Amino acid sequence: MDLPLIRPRRLRATPALRNLVRETRVQPGQLVLPVFVRDGIDEPRPITSLPGVMQHTLDSVRREAVRVAEAGLGGIMLFGVPLDEHKDASGSVGCDPDGILNRALAAVRDEVGDDTVVMADTCLDEFTDHGHCGVLDADGRVDNDATLEVYCRMAVEQANAGAHVVGPSGMMDGQVSAIRAALDDAGHLDTAILAYSAKYASAFFGPFREAVGSSLQGDRRAYQQDPANRREGLLEATLDLDEGADMVMVKPAGYYLDVLADVAAASPVPVAAYQVSGEYAMLEAAAANGWLDRDRVIAESVTSIVRAGADIVLTYWALELAGRL
């Protein structure tokens, strides 16, 4: 028999061999836990479409932040969920030092200090009564430049509250350069910007809308990217890099691995990817029905994101994965 000289199977023969030659390894320090903090509740509330994920109180988010730090995660990303009566057309509660997100940032930073990275979602969709990521003009369209003015105030207040990192996620043109200038002018030279650079108008954001109590009317396709566009993702990331982004992000992650790989190959700064609510919910639902091996698909899904080039992964499984890793 003319047998092959090269036999790749040799290195797959045992668990120890497979571990020895594994090309991609996920570490707890790469993972960031997204967390929701809701105003006006006395105890954490389950999110129906995100099994195992809660809307936290100010007290419970402190405890969650301690868990994040003790698990050695890379950070915690906070989203605020205000009372409906506090929402308005300009999302003003997002800029209010006494708003739920800024109070949560202050509480978490007070609890964990610099033991983990405290990140803030810098966007208006949770705080506007129309649910869009910016302020609207007379024709009901999101006004890019007027929105930037609000983002600047919001980012400064988040830095004042203790955020190490602000995360502009609204996909407004010029948002990184505007926020950088505002932070620097306010003396927050060390506050970093994680730019949501390639964020697509995805149908996989559905459960997130429940998590933040979204009031969205219409859709966001006029400012978030068309899922059909690959090159545009790299363009958006390049623009954010030119504007001074400290980190760039691709969102969603699992269905945009081609975009993620493009951005990772070109970026001189760390690249993040957000494993979004729909990705989480689908796998949880399939596992609950016995169709998939839950532990294996969670690990495989996050490994694939890191394999594609992500240095940082935002995932609702961050704490669970860190425990296994």
Residues marked active site are found at 199, 251
Q: Give 156's contacts (C-beta < 8 A, 6+ positions apart).
A: 182, 183, 186, 188
Are 170 and 109 in contact by the 8 Å Cβ rule? The answer is no
193: nearest Cα among 156, 231, 230: 156
Q: Where are the beta strands (DSSP E) in 113-168?
A: 117-122, 165-168
Q: Give 5's contacts (C-beta < 8 A, 6+ positions apart).
A: none
Distance CA 157, CA 154 (A): 5
Q: Where are the beta strands (DSSP E) in 49-159?
A: 54-56, 75-81, 117-122
Kindly compute the dihedral angle of the four CA atoms of residues 16, 17, 19, 20, in this order, to the nearest 10 degrees. Answer: 110
Q: Give 218's contacts (C-beta < 8 A, 6+ positions apart).
A: 132
Q: What are phi and psi of 143, to 5 degrees?
A: -85, 110
Are 94 and 104 in contact by the 8 Å Cβ rule? The answer is no
Distance CA 154, CA 193 (A): 13
| Cα dist from 161 to 63, 155, 164, 230, whole Å | 18, 10, 9, 36
